[in-house]
Structure 1
Amino acid sequence: MQVLLLVCSVILMAVVFWDAFITVFSTHGAGPLTRWWTGGVWRLLLMIHHRRPIHRVLSMAGPVMLLAVVCVWYALLATGWVMFFCSGDALVVDNLTQEPANIEKIIYFVGTTLAGVGYGDLVPGRFPWTLWSNFAAFTSTVLLTTSLSYLLPIVAASLERMYLAQRIFGIGKTVPEFIVESWQGRSSGALDQYLLSLSAEVDRHAHKHLAYPILQYFHSADWKQSPGKAMLMFADAIFLISCGAAESARPPRPFIKLVNASIDNYAQLATAQAMLPGHIDSVNTEALRLDTLRKMDIPVVDEAEFDLALRSYAKRRGKLVALCEQDGWR
């Protein structure tokens, strides 16, 4: 039994540090433990949200889960050390009477040790357990310092998400409005210059989803600050302009190539850690029609050519629609 406790404690603490290392230092998303429980909580919230909207609750879920990640790591680390000091006889003793500590006192001893307080009423029984108690305090310091330094960049990144959405929706709230407000019907239109700055910002935002996977749980109660909805509208507008407008009425190819690459990058990286529904390949594209451009007196391509481009665009749009749903927006 004592050997089993020792082995379990070592495995548990190794899992905690591996999960923290992957989450904080890796650019491949969250660790398996963090991804499992945060994803489960978010799925549960979305199930409730789809029955009855709870945007305010969802907007608090991201910050709460961010703090909970640190608390879960610390709690599991403490559990591992409690199991470790319970794996032998008299590993922790009363400093005055030298009597072995029971389970309640060991929990108290581990708590004071990991917190760096060390009141001295309970101490390790003998060498080498004195060294292990020092190592326990060291592991706690490393874990808490690393994880707490991880919090502030995520908060800053969540604000950048809202800023990106506001920049896109600042031009127009819908696809027709976006095209009308930004496109002047010639290659030197305002949209050309706007694409350059937005493309770089979209790329930065996409890569932060890998560095900070918990960003996907930062929900805004205002749809005008939702990056998922903004990117979907932005991508639809660019698709209509680049594939629906006639060659003479399209923006220059380098601009379109650049912004499409940024949108593809966003769709790929943002969905790498997201919990996407299974219908992303059968997304509805009824809203994308050449009549939208005809009403603006923009010359359009042949219907057959547009339908071919639309089938190619459907897969990318499916990912963007799924990101909207994963963010709590239909």
Structure 2
Amino acid sequence: MSVLSVLVGVLVVGIVLVDAALTTLSLAGGAGPVTRRVSQGVWWLTRRLAGRGPQRHRLLRWAGTSVLVGTFAAWVTGLWLGWFLVFSATPDGVLDQFGRPADGWSRFYFTGFSIFTLGVGDYTPGTTGAQLATTGAVLTGLFLITLGITYLMQVVSAVVDKRTIAGHIAALGADPVDIVRRGWADGEFSPMFTQHLTSLTPELVRLGERHLAFPVLHFFHADSCGKSASAAVTVLDGALLLLRGGVDPRHRPDVGAVEPLNRALHQLVRTLDGPFIMAADDPVAAPGLKELTRAGIPVTDEQAYAQAVEGCRTHRCRLQGWCVSDGWDEADLRLTLD
């Protein structure tokens, strides 16, 4: 029984450490198996509690923090339980200050102050194996706590970047037509507008890499559409669809600004597809051309535009899936800076 207790305890500790390493140190994408299940469970529960009302976004904004806390709590609980099983393997594994074998609660207490490196000293390891296990508990505890704090600070920075990108896009316009209309001036698209498009390209590439490095980033929900990356990127994609397929080819902005941004946006959505989102059955609705015509912007014919819309159907189904997974309905997709 003692050997089984040690094996199970070491296995639990190993699962926790591997999961923490996969989540915080791996850039291959996704999270560890424990973190993935905790994250999905907390997000599912939060969405159920939030319901479908207009106030749901105020509750959903706490989902990311809850996922972080739940993940760290799962790591600590697993580490604590694993080493407790190891220290419970032999009667004299942990001794009190009088040299007597510790009871179950005292072993649990000894395990806790060992992994948190408190070094209280009122209980001590009683065997050579327990002494080695204590050293291992201290090292793994120090590793996990340091890793968790460092990861937390990096996630906070990534969340700020994510909302900054949404704010940048929202500053360009409230919806796809509004973005295109605001970029049009004096019979052409202004140079400042193309500069904004160019500056968004590295931001979108960075956002995709951030999602791979910090999977928990997907669960940080903004309480307004203008701060939501999923909503903002979907609106930006609609604007790019108009610029690339709706505007008359003779009046389109510089291809050197539009095409790199479009490729970066597609790369971002492909990165999220699978590990973070599931493509919807129907794509997000494509913006129309009538409002561009009313704004005095030359447009292409409807058939050519319809072909352009159909050509990116799969991509826009992924965008719709991203918005849905982030708690946004298509009716919400109007960006404001409030």
- Which category describes the TM-score, using the shorter chain as reference length? over 0.9
Query: Deviation string for 1:200-245 (max 9, x for gaps)?
Result: 1111112101011101111111211111111111110110111011
Distance 1:6 1:248, change over 3 A: same
Q: What's the TM-score once normalised by structure 1's chain length?
A: 0.93
Gaps of at least 5 residues in structure 1 are: none
In the other structure, the counterpart of 1:168 is 169
In 1, Cα distance between the equivalents of 2:269 and 2:311? 14
Query: Deviation string for 1:35-75 (max 9, x for gaps)?
Result: 11111210222233343342222112212321332222111
In the other structure, the counterpart of 1:6 is 6
In the other structure, the counterpart of 1:183 is 184
In 1, Cα distance between the equivalents of 2:52 and 2:250? 47
Alignment of 1:14-25 (within 5 A): 14-25=14-25
SS in 2 for 1:65: helix
In 2, Cα distance between the equivalents of 1:134 and 1:10? 14
In the other structure, the counterpart of 1:265 is 267
In the other structure, the counterpart of 1:139 is 140
In 1, Cα distance between the equivalents of 2:195 and 2:52? 42
Give the conservation status (yes or no) of the 8 Å contact 1:293–1:300: yes
Query: Deviation string for 1:153-195 (max 9, x for gaps)?
Result: 1101111111111111112112221111113342554321111
In 2, Cα distance between the equivalents of 1:275 and 1:243? 26
In 2, Cα distance between the equivalents of 1:143 and 1:305? 56
Give the conservation status (yes or no) of the 8 Å contact 1:183–1:189: no
Alignment of 1:286-305 (within 5 A): 287-305=286-304
Alignment of 1:30-49 (within 5 A): 30-49=31-50
Q: What's the TM-score once normalised by structure 2's chain length?
A: 0.91
Query: Deviation string for 1:16-39 (max 9, x for gaps)?
Result: 000000011101221111011111
In the other structure, the counterpart of 2:319 is 320
Asked if 1:256 is matched to 2:255, the reply is no
Give the conservation status (yes or no) of the 8 Å contact 1:244–1:300: yes
2:318 alignment partner AA: K
User: After the TM superposition, which of the residue ranges 292-301 and 82-91 deviates more from structure 2?
Assistant: 292-301
In the other structure, the counterpart of 2:74 is 72
How many matched pairs? Answer: 326
1:61 alignment partner AA: A
Return the offset for 1:264: 0.4
SS in 2 for 1:93: strand
Give the conservation status (yes or no) of the 8 Å contact 1:281–1:315: no
Asked if 1:92 is matched to 2:94, the reply is yes
Gaps of at least 5 residues in structure 2 are: 330-338
In the other structure, the counterpart of 1:103 is 104
1:148 alignment partner AA: I
CA root-mean-square deviation: 1.7
2:17 alignment partner AA: F
In the other structure, the counterpart of 1:218 is 220
In the other structure, the counterpart of 2:65 is 63
Alignment of 1:198-213 (within 5 A): 198-213=200-215
Query: Deviation string for 1:107-141 (max 9, x for gaps)?
Result: 01111212222332221112132122122111101
Give the conservation status (yes or no) of the 8 Å contact 1:210–1:273: no
Distance 1:58 1:284, change over 3 A: closer
In 2, Cα distance between the equivalents of 1:113 and 1:189? 62
1:244 alignment partner AA: G
